[in-house]
Structure 1
Amino acid sequence: MDGIPEGAVTVVDDTELLRVLRSFNPWWTTGKVPEHLVPPVRRSVYYALASRLSQRQWRRAFILEGPRRVGKTTLLYQLAADILARGTLHPRRILYVSFDHPIAKLARLDQVARLFADVAGLSEAEPTESPAALWLLDEIQYTADWAAWLKWLVDQHPHFRIVATGSATVQLQVEGADPGVGRWAPVPVPPLSFFEYAALRDLPLPRLDGMPRDFLWVRPPDRQAIVQLVEACRVLEPHFHRYLLLGGFPEIALLDDPGALDLLRIDVVDRVLKRDMVALFNVRNILQLERLFVYLCLHTGEIVNRETLARELGVTGPTVDNYLAAMQSAHLIHLLPNVDLGGKKLLRTRPKVYLAHPSLRSAVLMQGEDALMDTTTLGHLVETAVVTATLHFAREAAPWAGYWRDPASGREVDLVLTLPQAAAVMEVKYQPDPVIRPGEGIAVYRRGDPSVGRWQITRRAEDAGPDPDLGLVRLPAFAYLYLLGWLLHHAA
């Protein structure tokens, strides 16, 4: 593989690095990926990614972004396994390396490339009709000068297929912004949808044929379609609360041991807050950061008061802003801005904060089913699941997203999604009496505007159906979240 640029003096010996690479890639010898690394269930993002990789004219790398333990590494192994099963690449032309490994972390990407070229025989002319090699680069942000070398790989070897992962987007954006323009595409890997959780747990998977993928924006389904949807999903209702507590992360979702949450807590607190934040975001006071994250876990689904947080933590307002931005970039939280009646972000307003998945709250606060006993807490967990899942579902449409709050009256709408010619607004009322009165936020927000779809997410299946008086549609949370996941999976 001629033309590799001159690199700095390497720290790790070639022999030692090659030993690590061989341990990462047993298929170089056996011809297949070990079965324990390749679970049979494929996520929606896997099918979308595999489809784009198969396009012959594709000339970009992919960077998978998402929180730890969300399954990014598994996606890489599944890609390798399926390509080997199809026989489209020789086993020695598939490279996996995790730069989280202490030896690999000392290596440069050009050194890895040079050793892989020798193993794969890439000094020969590359084919022009099919990929020459598949590069699977895990936790790429931990290797030096990754952005420049990844740009070089994409520019000089367009017939390589490259998929990398990164748990911390700010590092990827800051280091990769200039050299990476047009060279790679981010691919979000969110926590499990309710559909994916059901598939992973081998639960019944109701078919929901006939529901349009853009149902949020168009004329809502009629009563019969809604009733059929809810009845089909009733079989999953008993599993919904467990999904809230344990269902966002594949490894944790599969374990029936309540102690499984400790694995997630260790990764979030010890690895992300105490290691990634120090290494990638230059956070110096870990105790302050941890206290802030615990506070956000307690108040997921609520409006964040910057001044209050700064006072309680004994830091400045800009420090709070920096911490919140770092947590969002590490995929721990979503910050939802306040928007006006047109759906545009307002300046100098207080955001609402949502954990990436409600199971993060269970893990960090070490609370299990007792969290379900408190109506307010349960409501916030459901709102967190609904808002984050909806944001991911609507991502391709690229709407303006936020919440609406009228400062004069205090009226509020949990989620507003706005496109140039359409909008969807959503209110989550997960309680026995989900009545919305004519003067409440979702009822008055752009009243009479036919381009606005209105959705109320409730608890009881009996509440499902359209409400002509308020111009909204009610769906129980378990059916709504399953529907989003089902549609994403079958569109991939």
Structure 2
Amino acid sequence: MAMFTDEKLLNLLLQYNPWWRGIQMSEKSAPPHRRFAFYEAKKLLEHPDLRRFVIISGARRVGKTTIMYQLISELLAKGVSVRNIVYLSFDNPILKLGGFEGVLRAYENAYSTEGEVYFFFDEVQYAEDWEVWVKVLFDSRPHLKLVATGSASPTLEKGSTDSGVGRWSVLRVPTLSFYEYCDLLEISARPQLPKGIRPTQLYKMDKGDLTDLMNKLSPLQQHFNRYLTVGGFPELALSRDDALAQRMLREDVVDKVIKRDVLTLFNVRNPLQLEKVFLYLCMHSSSIINVTTMCKELDEMNKSTLTSYIHFLKEANLIYISDPIGVDGKGILKGRSKIYVADAAIRNAVLMLEDVITIPEEMGIMVETAVYKHVAAFYYTSNAQVGYYRRLKENEKEVDVVVELPLGRLLCEVKYRENTHVKETDAIIELTNDEKAKVQGSLIITKRAEDYGVTQHHSRIPVVRIPAPAFLYLLGNAEKEGYTARM
């Protein structure tokens, strides 16, 4: 038990908290660029009336630790006492085994503090009984504030449900949006935009103003292609070696999650089966999954096992699951979910695809994946449901992305191809015209920079065509301006 002495744990604390020794936070650890999630975490941490611990969840390399260091940097700049700020990573084997109790004992025996104390725990899910100790900390130390991160959501959200009601909030961090990607790379083509632009309301703009807006956004197309292939992981996006970035994506994001995080947290007994499931989902990203068919194609895998593996991959932030939404009162494909890989670049890296930019079918899959991810992330903090629509009969008409809001619905159909002609009988037009569907906005996501504007259909509300880079950038701009849940 010598490894768990106060002296040993205190030495680790000193190593993890260099500001205790007068060493300033480096810009590499806390870069000046801030993600949207940083501001959400800061708002929760500093709320004057509602005390909440903050649990940040997300895939590996999305920048969770960076957000914590940025929060620490701001606290130090505000003059918070250095010993009142404690950072730890429970990825460390000694801390993992020593647990919360030992760390807390070593810290409180060594230092007396006044005022608010801030704890920052990285990869908290590796600490035994973490949710119990976080509950104890919340209840017994009213002057303590805490931010924790984890790469796998299940234990975090289970802990939030079991022990954390009224005590902490889980904040999911997706990969970089296209807007954040352009901002991070300080792309010179970023346009200055007037305030209050919302994609679903573009039909209200004067034709000349809409043309000016699209012309401002069109130079982003070349950067959009790289965004799709390299992905929304900050460190990799900043790399100049795209081939190395793809390899790191495979090794650091995918392999470590599947071969370590998921195996550890869910006690998976057959890692090879799990890898096969993820590979299959990568190959069929953006497709509706038939579990029975999938079991047969995966060597007669047990259906219950397969369903569990899909759930594990979702909770490990590697995939999104898009469920069918009823819109017009007619039959839908119940129980048949669409699967999207969490970032288009993950799929590229796993399948080792080359020259995907030149393959129309692959580009269509990547763009639909990006659109779903952006919309799902945009509405994450709201009560909206994001799924898809597909009718059972009449040729199984489909709308790729449907947002279910309390007062109506928004529709997005991805047509990333040269010819984006939409018939009057297509699902997006029929639903837009159906008063029962309560559609409040309809968008067709296109490929060419010049393919924009209101369609010629006689619809109840105008249906708007908008190029994919423009749509995703404007969605990010709306998020920055605080138009959450108002696409």
Same fold (TM over 0.5): yes
Residue number among 445, 450, 460 corresponding to 1:457 in the alignment? 445
Per-residue CA shift, 1:378-404, capped at 9, x if unaligned?
101000001110111122332122111
The question of 1:249 aligning with 2:241 is answered no
Amino acid at match of 2:238: L
* Change in 2 beyond 3 A, CA 1:344/1:102: farther
Per-residue CA shift, 1:42-89, capped at 9, x if unaligned?
1111122223322222311010011111000000011111111121x1
The structure 1 segments of at least 4 consecutive aligned residues displaced by more than 6 Å after TM superposition are 343-347
* Change in 2 beyond 3 A, CA 1:111/1:345: farther
Aligned length: 474
Query: What pairs with 1:269-418 in structure 2 (closer than 5 Å)?
Result: 269-313=254-298, 314-341=300-327, 348-368=334-354, 370-409=355-394, 410-418=396-404
The question of 1:59 aligning with 2:51 is answered yes
Identity %: 39
Per-residue CA shift, 1:156-208, capped at 9, x if unaligned?
22222211011111122334422211111011111001111112212023222
**What's the RMSD between the two structures over aligned residues?**
2.2
Alpha-carbon distance in structure 2 between the residues aligned to 1:229 and 1:345: 40
What SS does structure 2 have at the residue aligned with 1:438?
coil
Alpha-carbon distance in structure 1 between the residues aligned to 2:331 and 2:84: 47
Alpha-carbon distance in structure 2 between the residues aligned to 1:346 and 1:206: 41
Q: Which residue of 1 aligns with 2:144?
A: 160
Q: Which residue of 2 aligns with 1:109?
A: 100
The question of 1:45 aligning with 2:37 is answered yes
> Is the CA contact (8 Å cut-off) linking 2:60 and 2:252 kept in structure 1?
yes
* Change in 2 beyond 3 A, CA 1:196/1:120: farther
Structure 2: stretches of 5+ with no match in the other structure: none
* Change in 2 beyond 3 A, CA 1:286/1:422: same
Alpha-carbon distance in structure 1 between the residues aligned to 2:463 and 2:369: 21
* Change in 2 beyond 3 A, CA 1:97/1:154: same
Alpha-carbon distance in structure 1 between the residues aligned to 2:226 and 2:20: 40
* Change in 2 beyond 3 A, CA 1:156/1:343: farther
Kindly state the Cα deviation for residue 343 of structure 1 after the two structures are TM-superposed. 8.8
Per-residue CA shift, 1:352-398, capped at 9, x if unaligned?
01111101112212224x12222111101000001110111122332
Kindly state the Cα deviation for residue 482 of structure 1 after the two structures are TM-superposed. 0.9
Per-residue CA shift, 1:215-257, capped at 9, x if unaligned?
5489754544432332221221111110001131011101111
Amino acid at match of 1:39: P
Structure 1: stretches of 5+ with no match in the other structure: 1-8
* Change in 2 beyond 3 A, CA 1:343/1:287: farther
The question of 1:24 aligning with 2:12 is answered no
* Change in 2 beyond 3 A, CA 1:476/1:347: closer
> Is the CA contact (8 Å cut-off) linking 2:160 and 2:169 kept in structure 1?
no
What SS does structure 2 have at the residue aligned with 1:335?
strand
Amino acid at match of 2:168: W
Per-residue CA shift, 1:299-337, capped at 9, x if unaligned?
211111101111122211111111111111111111101
Amino acid at match of 1:276: D
* Change in 2 beyond 3 A, CA 1:31/1:452: same
Q: Which residue of 2 aligns with 1:442?
A: 428
* Change in 2 beyond 3 A, CA 1:38/1:345: farther
Kindly state the Cα deviation for residue 460 of structure 1 after the two structures are TM-superposed. 1.0
Kindly state the Cα deviation for residue 106 of structure 1 after the two structures are TM-superposed. 1.3
219-228 or 29-38: bigger deviation: 219-228
* Change in 2 beyond 3 A, CA 1:307/1:22: same
Q: TM-score, normalised by structure 1?
A: 0.91
